[in-house]
Structure 1
Amino acid sequence: MGNCKEFDPTGISNYYSNKVRDVISGLKKKPAIVAFFANPDEGKIRIAESIKRACLKTGISFELSQVSKYDLEEEVLKANEDEAITGIIINYPVFGNRQDEYLKNVILPEKDVEGLCHRTRYNIFHNIRTTSNGHKPILPCTPLAIMKTLKHLGAYDKRLEKGNRLYGKAIVVINRSERVGRPLAALLANDGACVHSVDISDIQAMSRGPGLKFPKFKLISARMSFEECLNNADIIISGVPSKSYKIHQKLIKEGAICINFSSDENFDASIKLRASVFVKSLGELERVMLMRNSLRSAIQQSNFPPLTHSK
Structure 2
Amino acid sequence: MPQEKLILDGSRVAQDIKDRLYPRVERLAANGVVPCLATILVGDDPASATYVRMKGNACRRLGMESVRVDLGKDTTTEQLLETIRRLNEDPAVHGILLQHPVPHQIDERAAFDAIQPEKDVDGVTTLGYAQTAFGFADYPSCTPAAIIAILDYYKIPIEGKHAIVVGRSPILGKPVSAMLLNRNATVTVCHSKTKELDRIVGLGDIVVAAVGKPRFIQGGWLKEGAVVLDAGYNEGNVGDVDYEACLAKASAITPVPAGVGPVTIATLLKHTVDAAEKYGIAASES
Calculate the TM-score normalised by the size of structure 2. Answer: 0.86
> 2:225 is matched with which residue: 255, 262, 269?
255
> 1:89 is matched with which residue: 86, 97, 114?
97
Q: Determine if the alignment matches structure 1 residue 154 to structure 2 residue 158.
A: no
Q: Which has the higher helix share?
A: 2
Instruction: Indicate conservation of the 8 Å contact 2:48/2:100, yes or no.
Output: no
- Tell me the number of residue pairs that the alignment of Structure 1 and Structure 2 aligns: 267
CA distance in 2, matches of 1:80, 1:6: 40
Give 1:202 shift: 3.0
Give 1:297 shift: 1.2
Instruction: Indicate conservation of the 8 Å contact 2:10/2:261, yes or no.
Output: yes
| Helix, strand or coil at the partner of 1:64 | strand
Give 1:258 shift: 1.1
Q: Determine if the alignment matches structure 1 residue 124 to structure 2 residue 99.
A: no
Give 1:84 shift: 1.1
Give 1:304 shift: 6.1
Aligned residue identity for 1:49: R
| Helix, strand or coil at the partner of 1:253 | coil
> 2:174 is matched with which residue: 165, 175, 182?
182
For 1:236-251, list aligned pairs within 5 A.
236-243=207-214, 245-248=216-219, 250-251=220-221
Instruction: Indicate conservation of the 8 Å contact 1:5/1:277, yes or no.
Output: yes
Aligned-residue Cα RMSD (Å) equals: 2.1
| Helix, strand or coil at the partner of 1:284 | helix
| Helix, strand or coil at the partner of 2:265 | helix
Deviations along 1:130-152, one digit per CA (max 9) or x if unpaired, are: xxxxxx52111100110001112
Partner of 1:193: 185
CA distance in 1, matches of 2:272, 2:202: 39
Instruction: Indicate conservation of the 8 Å contact 1:4/1:272, yes or no.
Output: yes
Deviations along 1:16-62, one digit per CA (max 9) or x if unpaired, are: 11111221011121111221222132332232122211101112100
Aligned residue identity for 1:232: L
Q: Determine if the alignment matches structure 1 residue 274 to structure 2 residue 249.
A: yes
Instruction: Indicate conservation of the 8 Å contact 1:17/1:58, yes or no.
Output: yes
Give 1:268 shift: 4.5
Partner of 1:22: 23
Q: Which runs of 5+ in 2 are unaligned?
A: none
Give the 3 Å change call, closer, same or farther, for CA 49–268 of structure 1 in structure 2. Answer: closer
Partner of 1:221: none
Aligned residue identity for 1:175: G
Deviations along 1:252-298, one digit per CA (max 9) or x if unpaired, are: 22221111111133135233333211112324111111100111111
Give the 3 Å change call, closer, same or farther, for CA 25–231 of structure 1 in structure 2. Answer: same
Give the 3 Å change call, closer, same or farther, for CA 44–98 of structure 1 in structure 2. Answer: closer
Aligned residue identity for 1:112: D
CA distance in 1, matches of 2:248, 2:3: 5
Give 1:111 shift: 0.5
> 1:202 is matched with which residue: 161, 175, 194?
194
CA distance in 1, matches of 2:199, 2:271: 37
Give the 3 Å change call, closer, same or farther, for CA 95–252 of structure 1 in structure 2. Answer: closer
Aligned residue identity for 2:148: M
| Helix, strand or coil at the partner of 1:105 | helix
CA distance in 2, matches of 1:152, 1:26: 25
For 1:221-240, list aligned pairs within 5 A.
225-240=196-211
Q: Which runs of 5+ in 1 are unaligned?
A: 130-135, 157-165, 204-224, 306-311
Deviations along 1:228-247, one digit per CA (max 9) or x if unpaired, are: 43232111111232235241
- Structure 1 runs (4+) deviating above 4 angstroms are none
CA distance in 2, matches of 1:14, 1:122: 29
Q: Determine if the alignment matches structure 1 residue 62 to structure 2 residue 66.
A: yes
Calculate the TM-score normalised by the size of structure 1. Answer: 0.79
